[in-house]
A and B are shown apart, each in its own frame.
Chain A
Amino acid sequence: MNSAAIASHENYASHENYLSSGWNWRSWLTTLDHKRIAILYVVTITLLFGIGGAAAAMIRLDLLTPHSQLVSIETYNKLFTMHGVIMVWFFLIPSIPATLGNFLVPMMIGARDLAFPRLNLASWYLFVGGALFTIYALLAGGVDTGWTFYAPYSTTFSSSHVFAAATGVFIAGFSSILTGLNFVVTIHEMRAPGMTWFRLPLFIWSMYATSLILVLATPVLAMTLMLMAIERTFGIGVFDPALGGDPLLFQHLFWFYSHPAVYIMVVPAMGVASEIVCCFSRNPVFGYRFMAYAILAIAAFGFLVWGHHMFVSGQSAYAGTVFSLLTFLVSVPSAIKVFNWTATLYKGQITFQAPMLYALGFVGLFTIGGLTGLFLASLGLDVQLHDTYFVVAHFHYVMVGGAVMGFFGGIHFWWPKITGRMYPEGWARFTAILTFIGFNLTFFPQFILGYLGMPRRYPEYPPEFQVWNVLSSAGASLLAFGYVLPLIYLLWSLRYGARAPANPWNAKGLEWETPSPPPTENFHTTPVVTEEAYAYSRAQAPHG
């Protein structure tokens, strides 16, 4: 594919594209175009990220002092619950798959759309419906069970709006399932001629594995929440020890979904990282097949380790031993991926545009997050660390330092393709670095707090822990800037940004061989694939 030819002919967006074809409520709300549905998701999850982020801001402000002076302890409990519920189910889980995945999966494989466009739109409506229930729960007074909804507190003791929140998550779960189903079928059946499995971009592999988890794990969550909600409503159920039920059963069922869920959140970011690192080092990825198999291994093994959330729950030591061993095994493919990204840089021609800064930040922070997961996988050590701030720091490193940085990297990388505009590079680089610094300042002190013993979900803590909490909150204020700035300059770029050519980064991949923004049908003629993935030659550097 000759990019120069495209650059000269299909450059600036005076051409007909998916954004110019109709701009009214109906054209957006009844669209079947996967690209427009991706935009609908972007808008929705940005709003929800704002709500979840506001909760986080209040949490970190309240934790500046050992006593809960900003909000009451009851309100604090509702804040961390809503922060978790919204960030997990209404931001992280849909983030990359429903935005970048929806936009790019058909394009990267050379298809016109996903296999089931109407299901795709239904997915978005279900997502919005679920979000509305959850926002209702928030406005009606909040939920205070934690995002984990443990029984019997959630079923019998909490007087908050558990049912509404659980319903919201339940409905959003169907959104996840339909998206996953759509991606699996699309990737299996609609690849362009010549696009064999092992020529697929790793982003597609990551979307495929994520979709398998979405499809297989989410139904378990749906039923578990339903069991919990019905038990709460009718006052009888299988989790209530007063009747001989088992509260640990809830935990097993909940974590059977929620552990694979964390891979739904991070595997897409791994796919994004592979795309960006290869493009900005002008190298094919090191060990393509190992990378692809590692993605599948993470997804498969991820279903076997849920009990590592329950080492001190009262489950048997035997079960704990098995889960600990399996958890160590699931870490191996992740380690391979980190080493491979690093090796991809070797003998490259590396440049440091904002997407690359985010991608490198992702690799570093995911490494730390993953390594601290090993602390937690160790049975003897987890006793000390369980339910402390060490766990909070660990999962924020992989979820925020990992998944969110990957998301922002991907948004920047494909922004020109999606919008036809370049974002302001200087501001973007500054923000990437600011985010990296703010993030570490926020969450690294929490490792120390954790080993000291500061429990999670505590609005009030012993005074000697204050120094670390203050450092953490200071970092959070920087981090907040890191998230607000892109909102501003990305919106600014929609109107004032330089117009983007078809392939501003000189990247490999079918999505770059079509104009920016793409036409509604993605490609004027069906592409035919003749080269391997990431066939970069270091002679041609990225522009921009």
Chain B
Amino acid sequence: MDSVPFFPDRASTMAGQVDNLYFAWLVLSGVVALAVAVLMVWFAIRYRQGSAAKRTLADAAEREKKMRRIEIIWTVVPLVLFIAMFVWSARVYYQSVTVPKDALPIYVVAKQWMWHAEHPGGEREIDELHVPADRPVELVMTSQDVIHSLSIPDFRVKQDVLPGRYTTLWFTANRPGEYHLFCTQYCGAAHSHMVGRVVVMEPAAFQGWLSAHANVPTMAARGAQRYRQLGCSGCHGAQATVHAPRLEGLFGRPVQLHDGRFVLADERFIRDAVLLPTQDVPAGYEANMPSYRGQIGEEELLEIIEYIKSLGNATQEVAP
């Protein structure tokens, strides 16, 4: 029989920091719980009815003063400890939600009851995630139906996956091996079957895995194809007669909307532009882009986003 597990593996660069928080709380709460327990037991024994312990009390004013002092101490001390722990854990959290700039994106579409992942190079996986070790990976995720949540306990990462928007999580896996992947937001009948594995490979092995799957078109290529099929270039292309924003170099830049606000042209912006085009209309343009809701699946939308990302290096400016 395998040994009984007490603790998850430490397989990502953030795992140690999260564990440090955990151990700190274990120690702090252990000390407090032990102190309370010991005091309760000690008092219960020492002051049990009929015991010979001294029970003479100081006078009322003296007791009142002492009581007030003790109350203030055990109000202020926990408060200070809590604030310190709050600051520390908030900083760990900010690090865990700040995606490193050079992270390798992998796109995940969750649906009842499976995880569908797609690498930029076009490799598709179901309920599995092959990732390189020692390189930041960003999962850009959405759901096709209900709220799911992607969790990899050995990496100490977790993020709800929502329908109608993108959420992200990032990690740098630093130990090759295989790790559990769970859905951790109840999503219906086979919620507990919506599990998978993350395969962390040495960089060379990962390259090998990629080339073994190299016979598929990249996401950007698939996206370009769908883009043409849906007629997007009819308005957004260089030959278009309609006044529509050019998409070259758009991704990742701030865009001014007709009401004066600035928003970032990120994955959410592209998605909303395709599905709800009359909502965030860029300044200087009419709200006459049709909606493609019902015509594009979540995976295709992500492929189109990858395609638009790939236009980022083009030389043409975004026309006003």
A77 CA to B186 CA, complexed, in Å: 9
Contact of A380 among B91, B147, B190 (CB under 8 A): B91
Contact of A314 among B8, B95, B160, B190 (CB under 8 A): B160
Q: Is the CB of A150 within 8 A of B147?
A: yes
Is residue A458 within 8 Å, beta carbon to beta carbon, of the partner chain? yes
Q: In chain B, residues 26-79, which have Cβ atoms closer than 8 Å to a Cβ of chain A?
A: 28-29, 32-33, 36-37, 39-40, 43-44, 47-50, 53-55, 57, 67, 70-71, 74-75, 78-79
Q: Is the CB of A456 within 8 A of B75?
A: no
What chain B residues lie within 8 Å of A464 (beta carbons)? 2, 4-5
Q: Is the CB of A157 within 8 A of B145?
A: yes
Contact of B167 among A145, A146, A314, A461 (CB under 8 A): A314
Total number of B residues with any Cβ neighbor in A under 8 Å: 85
A325 CA to B93 CA, complexed, in Å: 13
What chain A residues lie within 8 Å of B191 (beta carbons)? 77, 457-458
Q: Is the CB of A328 within 8 A of B82?
A: yes
Q: Is the CB of A451 within 8 A of B22?
A: yes
Q: In chain A, residues 255-310, which have Cβ atoms closer than 8 Å to a Cβ of chain B?
A: 281-282, 286-287, 290
Q: A317-B94, A335-B78 are in contact. Are A312 and B6 (CB under 8 A)?
A: no
A348 CA to B57 CA, complexed, in Å: 11
Contact of A455 among B145, B146, B182 (CB under 8 A): B182
Q: Is the CB of B18 within 8 A of A381?
A: yes
Q: In chain B, residues 147-190, which have Cβ atoms closer than 8 Å to a Cβ of chain A?
A: 147, 149, 151, 153-154, 156-160, 162-165, 167, 180, 182-190
* Closest B residue to A447 using CB positions: B26
Q: Is the CB of A378 within 8 A of B49?
A: no
Is residue B17 within 8 Å, beta carbon to beta carbon, of the partner chain? yes
Is residue A346 within 8 Å, beta carbon to beta carbon, of the partner chain? yes
Is residue B205 within 8 Å, beta carbon to beta carbon, of the partner chain? no
Is residue A339 within 8 Å, beta carbon to beta carbon, of the partner chain? yes
Q: Is the CB of A320 within 8 A of B93?
A: yes
Is residue B90 within 8 Å, beta carbon to beta carbon, of the partner chain? yes
Is residue B262 within 8 Å, beta carbon to beta carbon, of the partner chain? no
Contact of A244 among B160, B180, B276 (CB under 8 A): B276
What chain B residues lie within 8 Å of A521 (beta carbons)? none
Is residue B126 within 8 Å, beta carbon to beta carbon, of the partner chain? no
Q: Is the CB of B189 within 8 A of A144?
A: yes
Q: Is the CB of A321 within 8 A of B90?
A: yes
Q: Per-position contact with A for B80-122: 1 when CB-CB < 8 Å, else 0?
A: 0011011011111111110000000000000010000000000
Looking at A321, A340, A384, A388, the one whose CB has the most chain B CB atoms below 10 A away is A384
Looking at B78, B88, B95, the one whose CB has the most chain A CB atoms below 10 A away is B78
Is residue B296 within 8 Å, beta carbon to beta carbon, of the partner chain? no
Q: Is the CB of B90 within 8 A of A324?
A: yes
Binds B, one of A173-181, A360-368, A419-427, A491-499: A360-368
Q: Is the CB of A360 within 8 A of B44?
A: yes
Q: A286-B67, A345-B47, A453-B154 are in contact. Are A328 and B85 (CB under 8 A)?
A: yes
What chain B residues lie within 8 Å of A360 (beta carbons)? 40, 44
Contact of A332 among B82, B89, B162, B187 (CB under 8 A): B82
A195 CA to B297 CA, complexed, in Å: 68
Shortest Cβ gap from B193 to chain A (Å): 7
A175 CA to B54 CA, complexed, in Å: 50
Q: Is the CB of B21 within 8 A of A378?
A: yes
What chain A residues lie within 8 Å of B83 (beta carbons)? 325, 328
Residues of chain B having any CB pair with chain A under 8 Å: 2, 4-8, 17-18, 21-22, 25, 28-29, 32-33, 36-37, 39-40, 43-44, 47-50, 53-55, 57, 67, 70-71, 74-75, 78-79, 82-83, 85-86, 88-97, 112, 145-147, 149, 151, 153-154, 156-160, 162-165, 167, 180, 182-193, 195, 276, 279, 293
Would you mind naming 30 contact pairs between A and B with Cβ atoms under 8 Å apart?
Answer: A68-B192, A77-B188, A77-B189, A152-B145, A157-B145, A286-B67, A314-B160, A314-B165, A321-B93, A324-B90, A328-B83, A329-B82, A347-B55, A360-B44, A363-B36, A364-B36, A367-B36, A371-B28, A371-B32, A378-B89, A380-B88, A380-B90, A384-B156, A387-B184, A452-B7, A453-B8, A456-B186, A457-B192, A460-B192, A462-B195
